[in-house]
């Protein structure tokens, strides 16, 4: 049995031979809807069309703000509850809120079962077991005390005072400014030929923390989908190193709460870093300092791989690869200032056929970069071509003795071993899409086997993610809908997994797509659906019915074909 290139071989008894594609207009962009209504309407059904995802101006459903005051929502004694904010615009009438509160999503509150107290109190959508008839919060004191003693809290020291100092430009950046000055002096001496790189080594902190990177499994910093709950799930499966989603340096320095949320760490994350993206030496160095000061990080990573056009045009992300002098000053300044290791994640280059990352390896080594991760594709290639592991090996050779990790196309233990064979000098691997498609890939690699989880086991993984999401974003209506949104974003990758037992020649390759197929049970068939309407059904199995007017268009790709 043979298949076309890029098509996975499915056992014949599971293939749908009579499947007809139809378009679900509920989950396509406005631009595609206009095409359907125009002159192309007649041609649309006869041609294969690629529906695009939407990043800008996405029509994302926003849950209404809970209209009950958060300050007293978790009160355990209604007789002493009081909101300290005289200008508070939210309701303080607990009885009226209960009368209009939407039905609970479920009977068991995960937060209460783990922490002994639910911080969302009366607004919790799973509040049956921890609320009195009057909506007053019940506390399991023994469990709550134990939870507090263990310190199982998301780590960040970003306070309102720190935010105020950043916004008023009062934060003390003397460390960063001194490092930048020293590097500028060094550049002037280099221009006159009176200094070499050995002088630079003396500028770096003597007591910099050391990390043993070798043979670790590194979860890629994934925009949108690499959130804290997903990282927790991957740690459960064996991920050794995790990194927050790409954070933009300028909003961090402006005290943006949404940007600072990206560098929060869960205690289960053993080795955790923050990834920064920017185009300016001073901005990146200062952002690195404030993140080291206020966040709980083991390392800080520079993003040299982001392919997004808006980032690239600013000279940030992969665009920084084309600004060699700025990149050199940035790496040196950050390395000189930081007390935690500095790492770099880079693509092989920007233009197809023009790999340039290897040219920077000696500079990274001399600047004291602790780890370099090379994604074996250029910016123009995005994710459509196979990763070039021969080139990753070339970079690993050029960077010695600085450790290099390889990134690209790993979806199984077999792929992992093939990568190490092609690039024997790499210290480890980073896994991105492979973890999104099947987060148990870390367990597979550590146990050196191919797993075939049942649909019910996979549903359990989704349930765990949802629980972690509710704990992180909250179990009130806003938290439930935020968890749903990120679950749906993840499901846009999950459906690409092909169950091992259905394959003629396992394991699945990352760029292979299956023909339409039926799973071994109805749930497995549902998981295989590329239609975002079916992903919403899955979310309703976990988080209850979607609110009226709910819409979802995937950020990375629109899937509206049935």
Residues carrying an active site annotation? 306
β-strand partners of 248: 277
Sorted by sequence, the CB contacts under 8 Å of residue 175 that are 6+ apart come out as 289, 337
**How many Cβ atoms from other residues are within 10 Å of residue 141's Cβ?**
10
CA geometry: angle 450, 454, 460, nearest 5 deg? 110
**How many Cβ atoms from other residues are within 10 Å of residue 177's Cβ?**
16
**How many Cβ atoms from other residues are within 10 Å of residue 394's Cβ?**
20
Strand, coil or helix: 421: helix
Q: CA 222 → CA 165, 382, 543, distances in Å?
A: 30, 14, 24
Q: Which of 187, 171, 173, 191 shows the shortest CA–CA distance to 332?
A: 187
What radius of gyration do the chain's Cα atoms show? 25
Distance, CA of 348 to CA of 363 (rounded, Å):
15
Sorted by sequence, the CB contacts under 8 Å of residue 464 that are 6+ apart come out as 233, 236
Distance, CA of 476 to CA of 68 (rounded, Å):
11
Cβ atoms 244, 262 nearer than 8 A: yes
Cβ atoms 395, 357 nearer than 8 A: yes
Sorted by sequence, the CB contacts under 8 Å of residue 457 that are 6+ apart come out as none
Burial zone of 67 (CB within 10 Å; 0-12 exposed, 13-18 middle, 19+ buried) = middle
Cβ atoms 381, 408 nearer than 8 A: no
Q: What stretches of 400-552 show up as alpha helix (H) in DSSP?
A: 413-422, 433-437, 441-447, 455-473, 477-494, 522-527, 532-543
């Amino acid at each position: 049995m043979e298949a076309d290139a890029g098509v996975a071989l499915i056992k014949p008894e599971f293939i749908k031979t009579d499947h007809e594609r139809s378009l679900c207009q509920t989950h396509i962009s406005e631009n595609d809807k206009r095409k359907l209504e125009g002159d192309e309407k007649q041609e649309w059904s006869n041609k294969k069309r690629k529906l695009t995802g939407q990043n800008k101006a996405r029509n994302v459903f926003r849950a209404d703000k809970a209209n009950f005051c958060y300050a007293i929502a978790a009160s355990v004694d209604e007789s002493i509850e009081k909101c300290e904010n005289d200008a508070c615009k939210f309701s303080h009438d607990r009885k009226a809120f209960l009368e209009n509160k939407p039905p609970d999503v479920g009977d068991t509150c995960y937060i209460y079962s783990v922490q002994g107290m639910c911080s969302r109190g009366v607004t919790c959508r799973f509040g049956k077991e921890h609320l009195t008839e009057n909506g007053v919060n019940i506390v399991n004191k023994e469990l709550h005390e134990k939870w507090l003693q263990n310190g199982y809290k998301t780590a960040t020291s970003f306070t309102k005072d720190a935010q105020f100092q950043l916004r008023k430009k009062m934060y003390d950046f003397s460390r960063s400014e001194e490092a930048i000055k020293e590097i500028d002096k060094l550049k002037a001496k280099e221009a006159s030929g009176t200094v070499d790189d050995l002088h630079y080594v003396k500028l770096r902190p003597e007591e910099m923390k050391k990390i043993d990177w070798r043979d670790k499994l590194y979860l890629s910093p994934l925009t949108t989908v690499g959130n804290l709950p997903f990282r927790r799930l991957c740690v459960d499966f064996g991920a050794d190193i995790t990194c927050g989603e790409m954070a933009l340096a300028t909003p961090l320095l402006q005290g943006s709460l949404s940007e600072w949320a990206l560098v929060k760490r869960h205690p289960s994350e053993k080795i955790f870093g923050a990834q920064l993206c920017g185009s300016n030496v001073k901005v990146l160095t200062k952002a690195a300092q404030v993140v080291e000061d206020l966040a709980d990080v083991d390392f800080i990573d520079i993003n040299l791989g982001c392919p997004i056009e808006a980032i690239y045009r600013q000279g940030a992300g992969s665009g920084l690869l084309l600004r060699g002098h700025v990149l050199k000053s940035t790496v040196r300044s950050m390395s000189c200032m930081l007390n935690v290791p500095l790492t770099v994640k880079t693509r092989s280059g920007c233009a197809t056929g023009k790999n340039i990352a290897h040219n920077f390896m000696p500079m990274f080594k001399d600047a004291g970069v602790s780890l370099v991760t090379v994604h074996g594709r250029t910016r123009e290639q995005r994710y459509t071509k196979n990763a070039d592991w021969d080139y990753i090996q070339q970079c690993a050779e050029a960077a010695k003795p600085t450790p290099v990790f390889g990134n690209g196309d790993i979806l199984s233990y077999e792929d992992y071993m093939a990568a190490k064979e092609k690039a024997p000098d790499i210290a480890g691997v980073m896994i991105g899409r492979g973890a999104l498609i099947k987060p148990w890939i870390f367990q597979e690699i550590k146990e050196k086997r191919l797993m075939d989880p049942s649909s019910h086991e996979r549903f359990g993984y989704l349930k765990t993610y949802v629980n972690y999401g509710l704990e992180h974003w909250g179990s009130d209506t806003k938290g439930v809908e935020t968890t749903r949104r990120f679950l749906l974003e993840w499901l846009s990758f999950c459906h690409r997994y092909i169950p091992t037992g259905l394959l003629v020649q396992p394991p699945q390759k990352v760029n292979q797509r299956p023909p339409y197929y039926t799973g071994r049970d109805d749930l497995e068939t549902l998981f295989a659906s590329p239609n975002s309407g079916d992903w919403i059904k899955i979310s309703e199995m976990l988080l209850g019915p979607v609110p009226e007017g709910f819409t979802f268009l995937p950020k990375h790709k629109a899937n509206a074909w049935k």
